[in-house]
Chain A
Amino acid sequence: MSNMGSRDDLKAVGIDVSEGDVPGRSKKARSKKAPSKKAPSKEDSVSAGFGRRDFLKASGFLVAGTAMGCTRGPVPEAVPLLEGTPEMVPGRSSWYASTCGACTAACGAVVRSRDGRPLKLEGNSLHSLSQGGLCAVGQASLLELYDSQRLLKPWWRGEATTWEKLDTEIEAALNAAAASGRSVRLLTETLHSPSELAAIARFGERFEDFQHVVYDPLSTSAILDAHAATHGRRVLPRYRIDAADVLVSFDADFLATWISPVEFTAGYRKARDLSGEPPLMSYHLQIESRLSLTGSNADERHAIHPAEMASWMGHLAAELGAHFGEGLAQLKPPAGNAPPPVVAMAERLSKARGHSLVLCGSQDLSTQILCNLINHLLGNYGNSLDLEHPSLQRMGDDGALAGLRRELASGQVEVLLMRGVNPVYDLPGGEELAAQIRKVPLSVSFARSRDETASASTAICPEPHFLEDWRDAEPVRGKLSLTQPLIRPLGETRGFARTLLTWNGEPKAELDWLREVWKREILPLASASLSPDSSSSTVASESMASESMASESMAFEKFWDGALHDGYVEVRRPAFEVGPFDGSALELVTEEAGGGTHRDGLSLILYPKVAMLDGRHAHNAWLQELPDPVTKVSWDNYASLAPATAAELGVEEGDLVKISKAGGGEDLVLPALLQPGQHGAVVALAQGYGRLGTDRFAQVGPLWLESEPTVEAGGTVGSRVSDWLDPGSGQLTPVVHGVEVTAVAGHQRLARSQVYDDREVPEKLRPADGHPRPIIQQASLAAYTEDRSAGKPHGHFPEADLWQEFPLGQHHWGMAIDLTACTGCSACVLACQVENNVPVVGRDEVRRRRDLYWMRIDRYYSQEGENLEVAHQPMLCHHCDNAPCETVCPVLATVHSEEGLNQQIYNRCVGTRYCANNCPFKVRRFNWFKYAHEDATANLVLNPDVTVRSRGVMEKCSFCVQRIQEAKISAKARREELAVDAVKTACQQSCPAGAIVFGDLADPQSEIAQAVADPRHYRLFEELNIEPSVGYRRLIRNRPEEEMGHADPHA
């Protein structure tokens, strides 16, 4: 039984226990005590010169020593539940379907619950959007549930209070506002929860002047506004990446942070499926200014200046217009000639009319209108863009936000409610905004911590974590999911809808309201498909009516149970009415869009990072430490500069640079990072850093003589850059032109988890024959179509084998990772961390290369400039059959299992680290310290099925052996054979691209056996004869053969 969190109780009990409890223990204690008690009197008589003070010193010493020997260890207790429930068996995990609440994408999740607490979030494969994947942020959001610094009580004017008192105060203020007709404003992030929207509608009815303003810190408002202009409705299309054979993305980082990355990654994978005959692969072009994760996966990539984005789009529209012979009278012809890549792009797109897609991440309205025009010309609306059942994941309206800010500035707002947003941090001019919020008579924040906005508000009404709450979500029209609580709320928090309804004088528990809304609004949409026989009961007798009432309520229970079980349900929402493409919208395309000219100085772009997004998860240590998939830096933001630009400025990596706006304003000093693939006239900064309260990480790492704190006390992790967002054009634009970057004195070593970048082995390290090792094997699609083993190096390996054949048992576990599918999103890295209790080590230890990830993603660059190639390679223990680590361990702490696992036995390990030195993959990690485990609340997140390692032992990937054991044991308990592919490792489960296959190599039916038989399969370091159990499938790129980089000159 888990006795976590009750250690203090145990200790207290241990002291109370009578001496006779532990036979053998107390007797020993007494017999050792006896001589020591006599001792002082003997000593006393030794010498006359032995004074009173000396005697006291000596006796004190002895008494202390004796007392030390007298303490007894705690008697372990076993405390069963008073009343058991059939579902809750101590030590057994159950999985419940829910919805991830980490961002507005609302992916489907299943949550593992054991002994009454949620322990792991995974993707829900029944959810048609996320399709079983879950990103790193979603998985890490579990840690925030067990955040001991979370607000667990409501606050009123800077003091903790009770809900009763708070409600009285707020209700009085709201009643006054309702009576006087003064303005009440609700500011939220994108909301697509039907129950919450219903509660807001109910709440807003009372007020004469009520307005619900929505904004997204990572705004896509321009897309919605562009559709309002071109299609007559403010709507965000649902992008069907899977339906696009040619995919052009203008600065949309859709595989990492843009709108719904998990859904898009699944679609991307689907459109790039090599298993067919002939192999199908979409053609992905990325046009961007920095190197994004999405760009790193593109088949063709162009780094252009952000000011050129509009002109490229204009040229593309003109080219396509000319191609399809559609007169674009309203479109001002773009200046100059179309750049050659645009001509080729137009050619390629026009061939894929109806099954192509152009995405645009720009916040410039003109560019977005042009993008709509292009998609319209290509006939993509209705095919790869769905406007009738659109995405509801980003509904932010920057125009409305600007209106609210004007109202706030003029002091017109009487009541301001802020939910899911942190405007003081998110928006430019935050301090000014904080002052304005302080002046609002009643400002309420629903934040879970005393963040920037909450500290400026009158009241804080903390919401529960989504794992403690009943909610729902509708990320795409007609596709709904439910969120159910997995734990009793850890504090006195209250759901948003419930709070609003309470203030409305109709308090309702979260679940009651949710069920009411679903019965009223959702059931009618679903019932058509649910109960086809219900229409037959048309006879209007009274008994029949009551019967139909009863059957209706039964139908609802059935529907509800099904939806709750699956966590996901599809209903028939009527299609959105949108107009046809309206060419007159092109009038809105400004002159500027036509001809992009470079301006003076550099252009600054702000971008979200995979782990940090808009900064809402900045208090999550797992996410702070997760290396950026491209730069591999954790714990910081930095100024990304192209290497050539950095050379011009005379800065090297880590040197501080000052960024200053042309029109004045505050300067920003950040360390520089050299980023290949970035446009020369661009400096890129990550958002989400510099959050208030991140100084909690001051002690995150181990404390020792040379340790440096991750963050100074009172400081923040990274720097806030939101003030650089430009709201000038009516949209929150993350681009600022004409900034000046200058080198300043100082250096800050970045915490990079990977210090090599190049796939080519440096000259001095090359093997004697001069060939670099074929670590990343790749081929072009054309070569692969011809020859399925294209890309295979032509070397042959020594035949001699000194190893004895290892007798294997019933199973032989193995893994294959598809490098074509892998996007490098790092969901697997975090999944592994959560599952296997991998500690956070802090910035200083990452710098010392002592991070403890069992799974990392190696990122390689090859070639330069336009042809820059990036490869992502997940790297974990390869469980070699001839494992080099095993032969060097002097204490047999790492040995082979009969199922082919390379076992690491912590209680045998003495920490020689020979194994790590002999590992060709460098995947063994050493515990240099006992990493902090003092926070009793945070410790609830630890997986009780995996040992928490202590100082001085080696650790590494175990192939999630706890899951293998669980699957084997539960099959055995059912007296069945282990089913094919019954085991899923944590990394495999969460991969949004399905790139990881794990299973029993000895079972020919298994997925892994088929993966190994694929001619694309290869293993690393085969020349070393280590026989790894992990293999890769070659990276196939859809690019011309002559542009491909070749790691192996033999190929």
Chain B
Amino acid sequence: MRARVLTLILVVGIALAALATVPRFAQLRGPGNNRGYEPVQPLAYSHRLHAGELQIDCQYCHSGAQRSRYAGIPSAGVCMNCHKFIRAPRSAVRAEELAAKEEGREPLRVTSPELAKLYQALALDENLEPSADGEPQAIRWARIHQLPDFVYFDHRPHIAAGVQCQKCHGPIETMERVRQMEDLSMGWCIDCHRDPFTSGGDAGNPVASTDCVSCHY
């Protein structure tokens, strides 16, 4: 009796333990099922505002795309090219100006809380001068578009071939927070490489290579 009960418990236990590991195995995801991934970023940077509304060229910030394998995330120094001067949304500045006028005082300097994080990372003080007590600290963005280690993707030939950024990254200019749109699977890559309209070749003879070593080496 006792032995039977133990056996039963053991069997149930093993079954449950096996079941419990399912989420773990579910994490061994192939490339492709990360579509829709939209993590919270350390800074609430808006692509909708910068790329959409202000129409800043993608490669102004992601300049690596034409020079390197990685498009790269811009260094904080690139942000400072503009944000040395622009410290808050125009609306906030205007509101403060109006309020100051009403109250008959000098307008205060307005700094958006998100930009304050940028200045903090660079260890800059009120006047955007290097502060004595601050330590510069790198901004740790959450990475979204990630290919497996055995793939060597290179942005350069795609830029050179005139592939739009949106082709792979989706309508970034509409996204407040960036989200992965395509599944980045090998099949998805190959579809495009085989398509004469996107790869620039004629039917049956696309320009983009489908050799394994184009990406795997």
Task: Name A's B-contacting residues (CB within 8 A).
Answer: 1, 13, 18, 21-25, 28-29, 32-33, 35-36, 39, 43, 46-47, 49-50, 54, 58, 61-62, 64-66, 68-73, 75-84, 89-92, 809, 895, 897-899, 901, 903, 905-907, 945-947, 958, 961-962, 965, 968-970, 972-973, 975
Cross-chain contact A49 with B9 (CB below 8 angstroms):
no
B110 interface residue per 8 A CB criterion: no
B95 interface residue per 8 A CB criterion: no
How far is A90 from B63 in the complex, measured between Cα atoms in Å? 10
Residues of A within 8 A of B154 (CB): 965, 969
- B 66-81 binary contact with A (CB < 8 Å = 1; else 0): 1111101111111000
Q: Which of B1, B139, B152, B217: most chain A CB closer than 10 A?
A: B217
Closest residue on chain B to residue A18 by CB atoms: B40
A-B contact pairs, 23 of them (CB 8 A): A28-B22, A32-B19, A46-B9, A50-B5, A54-B9, A58-B9, A61-B17, A62-B20, A65-B13, A68-B20, A69-B23, A77-B142, A79-B140, A79-B141, A80-B138, A80-B139, A82-B77, A92-B69, A903-B212, A947-B149, A947-B150, A962-B152, A972-B161
Residues of A within 8 A of B75 (CB): 80-84
Instruction: From B67, B77, B146, B213, give the contact of A961 (CB < 8 A).
Output: B213
Residues of B within 8 A of A66 (CB): 16-17, 20
Q: A21-B40, A965-B214 are in contact. Are A78 and B73 (CB under 8 A)?
A: yes
Cross-chain contact B74 with A28 (CB below 8 angstroms):
no
Q: A90-B72, A962-B152, A965-B217 are in contact. Are A25 and B26 (CB under 8 A)?
A: yes
Closest residue on chain B to residue A81 by CB atoms: B75
Cross-chain contact A91 with B152 (CB below 8 angstroms):
no
Cross-chain contact A49 with B5 (CB below 8 angstroms):
yes
Q: A43-B9, A973-B157 are in contact. Are A70 and B23 (CB under 8 A)?
A: yes
Cross-chain contact A35 with B16 (CB below 8 angstroms):
yes
Cross-chain contact B213 with A965 (CB below 8 angstroms):
yes
B136 interface residue per 8 A CB criterion: yes
| 16 extra A-B contacts, CB within 8 A, seeds A54-B6, A65-B21, A66-B17 | A47-B2, A62-B16, A65-B16, A65-B17, A65-B18, A69-B21, A75-B142, A78-B73, A78-B140, A80-B76, A83-B77, A897-B213, A903-B216, A906-B150, A907-B150, A969-B154
How far is A946 from B150 in the complex, measured between Cα atoms in Å? 9
Cross-chain contact B68 with A89 (CB below 8 angstroms):
yes
Residues of A within 8 A of B72 (CB): 1, 80, 89-91
Interface members, chain B 50-85 (any A CB < 8 Å): 63-64, 66-70, 72-78
Residues of B within 8 A of A958 (CB): 213, 217
Instruction: From B140, B141, B209, give the contact of A898 (CB < 8 A).
Output: B209
Instruction: From B76, B160, B217, give the contact of A83 (CB < 8 A).
Output: B76
Q: A65-B17, A80-B76, A90-B68 are in contact. Are A972 and B23 (CB under 8 A)?
A: no
B91 interface residue per 8 A CB criterion: no
Q: Which of A25, A71, A946, A962: most chain B CB closer than 10 A?
A: A25
Cross-chain contact A22 with B152 (CB below 8 angstroms):
no
Q: A50-B5, A72-B27, A82-B121 are in contact. Are A972 and B17 (CB under 8 A)?
A: no
How far is A28 from B20 in the complex, measured between Cα atoms in Å? 11
Residues of A within 8 A of B188 (CB): none
Please choose the segment from B31-39, B164-172, B191-199 that sits at the chain A interface, where 4 or more of its residues have CB less than 8 A away.
B31-39
Interface size on B, residues (CB 8 A): 66
Residues of A within 8 A of B129 (CB): none
Instruction: From A64, A84, A903, A962, give the contact of B211 (CB < 8 A).
Output: A903
How far is A70 from B37 in the complex, measured between Cα atoms in Å? 19
How far is A92 from B157 in the complex, measured between Cα atoms in Å? 14
Instruction: From B6, B12, B39, B160, give the contact of A22 (CB < 8 A).
Output: B39
Cross-chain contact B211 with A47 (CB below 8 angstroms):
no
Residues of A within 8 A of B21 (CB): 65, 68-69
Distance in Å: Cβ of B59 to nearest Cβ of chain A:
12
Q: A84-B77, A907-B150 are in contact. Are A46 and B8 (CB under 8 A)?
A: yes
Cross-chain contact B212 with A91 (CB below 8 angstroms):
no
Q: A73-B27, A80-B138, A972-B156 are in contact. Are A62 and B37 (CB under 8 A)?
A: no
Cross-chain contact A68 with B24 (CB below 8 angstroms):
yes
Residues of A within 8 A of B184 (CB): none
Interface members, chain B 129-187 (any A CB < 8 Å): 136, 138-143, 146, 148-150, 152, 154, 156-157, 159-161
Q: A39-B16, A75-B39, A80-B74 are in contact. Are A973 and B66 (CB under 8 A)?
A: yes
Distance in Å: Cβ of B200 to nearest Cβ of chain A:
12
Closest residue on chain B to residue A906 by CB atoms: B150
Cross-chain contact A907 with B216 (CB below 8 angstroms):
yes
Residues of A within 8 A of B6 (CB): 54
Cross-chain contact A49 with B150 (CB below 8 angstroms):
no
Closest residue on chain B to residue A39 by CB atoms: B16
Residues of B within 8 A of A73 (CB): 27
How far is A83 from B77 in the complex, measured between Cα atoms in Å? 5
Q: A33-B20, A958-B217, A965-B214 are in contact. Are A77 and B143 (CB under 8 A)?
A: yes
Residues of B within 8 A of A54 (CB): 6, 9
How far is A43 from B138 in the complex, measured between Cα atoms in Å? 52
Closest residue on chain A to residue B149 by CB atoms: A947
How far is A995 from B21 in the complex, measured between Cα atoms in Å? 56
Closest residue on chain A to residue B66 by CB atoms: A973
How far is A975 from B66 in the complex, measured between Cα atoms in Å? 11
How far is A72 from B28 in the complex, measured between Cα atoms in Å? 10
Residues of A within 8 A of B73 (CB): 1, 78, 80
Cross-chain contact A36 with B20 (CB below 8 angstroms):
yes
Q: A13-B140, A43-B9, A965-B154 are in contact. Are A905 and B216 (CB under 8 A)?
A: yes
How far is A82 from B122 in the complex, measured between Cα atoms in Å? 7
Cross-chain contact A36 with B19 (CB below 8 angstroms):
yes
Closest residue on chain B to residue A973 by CB atoms: B156
Cross-chain contact B37 with A22 (CB below 8 angstroms):
yes
Q: Which of B2, B16, B18, B142: most chain A CB closer than 10 A?
A: B16
Distance in Å: Cβ of A42 to nearest Cβ of chain B:
9
Closest residue on chain B to residue A893 by CB atoms: B212
Cross-chain contact A973 with B16 (CB below 8 angstroms):
no
Cross-chain contact B138 with A79 (CB below 8 angstroms):
yes
Q: A54-B6, A82-B121 are in contact. Are A21 and B39 (CB under 8 A)?
A: yes
Q: A22-B39, A901-B213, A970-B156 are in contact. Are A76 and B8 (CB under 8 A)?
A: no
Closest residue on chain B to residue A65 by CB atoms: B17
How far is A75 from B23 in the complex, measured between Cα atoms in Å? 16
Closest residue on chain B to residue A20 by CB atoms: B40
Closest residue on chain B to residue A67 by CB atoms: B20
Instruction: From A46, A79, A965, A973, give the contact of B139 (CB < 8 A).
Output: A79
Distance in Å: Cβ of A739 to nearest Cβ of chain B:
52
Residues of B within 8 A of A90 (CB): 64, 68, 70, 72
Instruction: From A64, A70, A897, A965, give the contact of B152 (CB < 8 A).
Output: A965
Closest residue on chain A to residue B25 by CB atoms: A69
Residues of B within 8 A of A47 (CB): 1-2, 5
Residues of A within 8 A of B160 (CB): 972-973, 975
Instruction: From B24, B39, B213, give the contact of A69 (CB < 8 A).
Output: B24
How far is A526 from B211 in the complex, measured between Cα atoms in Å? 52
Q: A35-B19, A39-B12 are in contact. Are A80 and B213 (CB under 8 A)?
A: no
How far is A25 from B23 in the complex, measured between Cα atoms in Å? 8
Distance in Å: Cβ of B20 to nearest Cβ of chain A:
4
Residues of B within 8 A of A897 (CB): 211-213
Residues of A within 8 A of B66 (CB): 973
Residues of A within 8 A of B1 (CB): 47, 49
Residues of B within 8 A of A68 (CB): 17, 20-21, 24
Residues of A within 8 A of B143 (CB): 75-78
Q: A23-B37, A65-B20 are in contact. Are A82 and B76 (CB under 8 A)?
A: yes
How far is A50 from B5 in the complex, measured between Cα atoms in Å? 8
How far is A961 from B213 in the complex, measured between Cα atoms in Å? 7
Interface members, chain B 100-125 (any A CB < 8 Å): 121-122
Distance in Å: Cβ of B198 to nearest Cβ of chain A:
16
Cross-chain contact B159 with A32 (CB below 8 angstroms):
no
How far is A907 from B5 in the complex, measured between Cα atoms in Å? 45
How far is A36 from B24 in the complex, measured between Cα atoms in Å? 15
